[in-house]
Amino acid sequence: MSSFEEADTEETKTCLYVALYHPCQEEKQVFRGLNIHKREQLRADEVAKFGRDCNMCHYNLMDSRVSRVQFTLQFFRQLNSSEPGFEIKNMSKKTKLIVDNVELDYLNKIDLPRKCIIRFGDYQFLMHRQDGESVDYFETCFELAQVSLLQERQMPLLQPIPECGISSLLYSQGVKPVEIDESDL
């Protein structure tokens, strides 16, 4: 037998492809701490941390408005299944993390859909999971998007509602607020 025949079969690794967008990415170089277009391998038991703290985070975002640890991704296997998955947790006390249209407050976590958009502040990440066989490792691969990922996927931009609770859009359409007493409901 040759050494080729005796070699272990190489398992494919689950890969998380991430398209990144920030409206000022060219000027501010906020993604300069990431390896763009290079697959990076992590151990399955590692928690992938995204944030600005170079000592704590594996994936660094070079922006003072980003939390030291913004969010984490944990690789796992579904119970009674070989299907891989990722769990995402918001680690920022100041900024909500939006996964598709689900808002996560500090320490909230959910399973990451196979394909989704993650947003916080001006950042947009389109994540797409390609399943693999390995239970020991997973990979990440980043690329820069040239246009807003929300526009590309034709997702609605959520308009902030002012503290008074009345959108200026309603006023422009002639809608006037009406106060209702709780007992009238």
Tens digit of pLDDT for each residue in 79-131?
887 788 899 999 999 999 999 989 999 999 999 999 999 999 999 999 999 99
Q: What is the mean pLDDT of residues 3-26?
A: 81
What integer pLDDT is reported at residue 8 of this predicted model? 57
What integer pLDDT is reported at residue 51 of this predicted model? 96
Tens digit of pLDDT for each residue in 40-64?
999 999 999 999 999 999 999 999 9
CATH top-level class of 8-184: mainly beta
Domain segments of the chain as ranges = 8-184
pLDDT at 167 over 90: no
Q: What is the pTM of this model?
A: 0.74
pLDDT at 35 over 90: yes
Cα(89)–Cα(106) distance, integer angstroms? 8
